[in-house]
């Protein structure tokens, strides 16, 4: 069919006979050219799937092409009816142009397209209208066909416009619902800011949500992706320096990447978290709350870890960890870390040595953890408490005996 639709039958007949022939046989053979429209449909389908081009403009071009093709076909068929009708004066074009066959091809084609568009758009000026029963019947079917064509065009254009604004409308509705929730429950302004910041982050970072894509991929591909993205980061974390590559792969494949908005508390002071976090990008502030004020003790950056104190020593965190900027964190369950350490005793020894080494010296100076800092702060608080207790005891004992004797004398 592809070959037959490309053969110029009338051209071959002209080369053989030297005459231009027009009859029903050549007309039927010319219809075979419509088979090539299948290629045009496949071409537009490939363009719509190609991410290098805008889907909106490709779809719009396809709709315009379909409309123009149908208008052309209807106009040509309507002219064919008039041309084959016995009394050409009683046709839609013969009533306006009596000798229309002697008119130029441009005039006849423009008249046909003009009638087709005015009929399809339901304008119907009435200057070109049916003059016989055959044309009336054709008009009936063409107008019924236009109902479906109009619905098809309007439906597709509506989908394109709605799809372009769908995410914005969903975002506006979610913000409106969150504001209503905050107002109805009289939440403080800080919670309101956190809720709205999270909603805005979710809208902006929807395209960055790589975990949803990775969940759809096979485990082998996910393992390769994690090895490429996160192993270079995790291997530089002080806690995992020196461990085997198998240990790193087993950990990164179970880590969940998350984007946390600014001013969000990841771990709260004096709580025992269930997760360990590795900073991939962004900044996380380490905050100490003394009951009255909050003091920023340090700022963590890429390749830093926090939450490991609770995981390895079963102690509550002495600091609050709050994001300073938009941060990407790798979240690892403490139970997963412990299982990985139990399954690999050699790597477990390395991890514990790294942790104890960081706990026994100034962790902030080395930039490797918080254990040493926590220990020294706890020691200073005990010393201050002991000093205050001794001062109270000296005040309650009274003046020394020597002063009492001198005062009596």
- In tens, the pLDDT along 220-229 reads 787 788 788 8
Q: What is the pLDDT of residue 365?
A: 40
Per-residue confidence at 204, pLDDT binned at 50, 70, 90?
Answer: low
Contact 299, 286 (CB under 8 A): yes
Q: What is the pLDDT of residue 7?
A: 67
> Lowest-pLDDT range, 4-13, 100-109, 302-311, 334-343?
4-13
Per-residue confidence at 110, pLDDT binned at 50, 70, 90?
Answer: very high
* Beta-bridge partner residues of 306: 277
In the three-class reduction of DSSP (H, G, I as helix; E, B as strand; rest coil), residue 163 is classed as helix
Per-residue confidence at 116, pLDDT binned at 50, 70, 90?
Answer: very high
Kind plus residue range of the DSSP H or E element containing 260:
strand 256-260
CA–CA gap between residue 161 and residue 168 (Å, rounded): 12
144: its two tokens: 């019924």
List of domains in the chain: 1-164 (1.10.287.70), 210-365 (2.60.120.10)
Per-residue confidence at 278, pLDDT binned at 50, 70, 90?
Answer: very high
Q: Does the pLDDT value for residue 305 go beyond 70?
A: yes
Q: What is the pLDDT of residue 377?
A: 54
What is the pTM (predicted TM-score) of this model?
Answer: 0.52
Contact 289, 321 (CB under 8 A): no
193: its two tokens: 């800011």
Q: What is the pLDDT of residue 364?
A: 39
Q: What is the pLDDT of residue 366?
A: 37
Per-residue confidence at 385, pLDDT binned at 50, 70, 90?
Answer: low
> Lowest-pLDDT range, 23-32, 72-81, 150-159?
23-32
Per-residue confidence at 402, pLDDT binned at 50, 70, 90?
Answer: very low
Half-sphere exposure for 245 (CA within 13 Å, toward CB) = 5
Encode pLDDT of 120-161 as tens digits.
Answer: 888 878 888 899 999 999 999 999 999 999 898 889 888 887
Q: What is the pLDDT of residue 383?
A: 62
Q: What is the pLDDT of residue 22?
A: 63
pLDDT over 70, % of the chain:
77
CA–CA gap between residue 121 and residue 124 (Å, rounded): 8
Q: What is the pLDDT of residue 373?
A: 47
CA–CA gap between residue 405 and residue 389 (Å, rounded): 28
Contact 279, 327 (CB under 8 A): yes
pLDDT over 90, % of the chain:
18
Rounded to 10°, the helix 9-17/24-31 angle is: 140
Contact 273, 347 (CB under 8 A): no
> Lowest-pLDDT range, 57-61, 184-188, 330-334, 361-365?
361-365
In the three-class reduction of DSSP (H, G, I as helix; E, B as strand; rest coil), residue 122 is classed as coil
Kind plus residue range of the DSSP H or E element containing 188:
none
Per-residue confidence at 372, pLDDT binned at 50, 70, 90?
Answer: very low
Q: Does the pLDDT value for residue 174 go beyond 70?
A: yes
CA–CA gap between residue 257 and residue 252 (Å, rounded): 10
Mean pLDDT for 375-404 is 52
φ, ψ (nearest 5 deg) of residue 270: 70, 15
Query: Which has the higher per-residue pLDDT, 15 or 196?
Result: 196
Average pLDDT, the chain: 80
The beta strands (E) that lie in 31-169 are given as none
Q: What is the pLDDT of residue 124?
A: 78
SS (H, E, C) 281-331: ECCEEEEEECCCCEEEEEEECCCCEECHHHHHHCCCCCCEEEECCCEEEEE
């Amino acid at each position: 069919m592809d070959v037959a639709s490309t053969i110029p039958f009338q051209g071959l007949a002209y080369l053989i006979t030297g005459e231009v022939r027009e009859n029903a046989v050549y007309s039927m053979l010319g219809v075979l050219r419509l088979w090539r429209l299948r290629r045009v449909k496949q071409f537009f389908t490939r363009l719509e799937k190609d991410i290098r081009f805008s889907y909106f403009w490709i779809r719009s071009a396809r709709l315009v092409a379909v409309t123009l093709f149908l208008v052309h076909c209807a106009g040509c068929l309507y002219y064919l009816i008039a041309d084959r009708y016995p009394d050409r004066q009683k046709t839609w074009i013969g009533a306006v142009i009596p000798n229309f066959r002697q008119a130029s091809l441009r005039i006849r084609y423009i008249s046909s397209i003009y009638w087709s568009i005015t009929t399809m758009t339901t304008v119907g000026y009435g200057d070109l209208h049916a003059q016989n029963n055959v044309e009336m019947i054709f008009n009936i079917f063409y107008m019924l066909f236009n109902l479906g064509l109009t619905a098809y065009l309007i439906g597709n254009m509506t989908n394109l416009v709605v799809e372009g604004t769908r995410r914005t409308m969903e975002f506006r509705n979610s913000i409106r619902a969150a504001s209503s929730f905050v107002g109805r429950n009289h939440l403080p302004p800080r919670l309101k800011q956190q809720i709205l910041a999270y909603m805005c982050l979710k809208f902006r970072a929807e395209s960055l949500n790589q975990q949803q894509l990775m969940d759809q991929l096979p485990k082998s591909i996910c393992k390769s992706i994690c090895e490429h993205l996160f192993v270079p980061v995790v291997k530089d974390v002080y806690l995992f320096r020196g461990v085997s590559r198998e240990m790193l792969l087993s950990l990164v494949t179970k880590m969940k990447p998350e984007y946390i908005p600014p001013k969000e508390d990841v771990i709260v002071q004096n709580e025992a978290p269930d997760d360990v976090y590795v900073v991939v990008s962004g900044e996380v502030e380490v905050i100490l709350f003394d009951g009255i004020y909050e003091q920023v003790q340090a700022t963590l950056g890429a390749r830093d870890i926090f939450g490991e104190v609770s995981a390895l020593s079963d102690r509550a965190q002495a600091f609050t960890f709050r994001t300073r900027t938009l941060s990407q964190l790798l979240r690892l369950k403490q139970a997963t870390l412990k299982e990985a350490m139990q399954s690999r005793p050699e790597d477990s020894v390395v991890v514990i040595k790294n942790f104890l080494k960081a706990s026994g010296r100034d962790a902030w100076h080395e930039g490797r953890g918080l254990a040493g800092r926590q220990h020294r702060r706890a020691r200073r608080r005990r010393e201050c408490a002991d000093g205050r207790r001794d001062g109270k005891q000296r005040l309650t004992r009274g003046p020394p005996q020597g002063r009492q004797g001198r005062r009596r004398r």
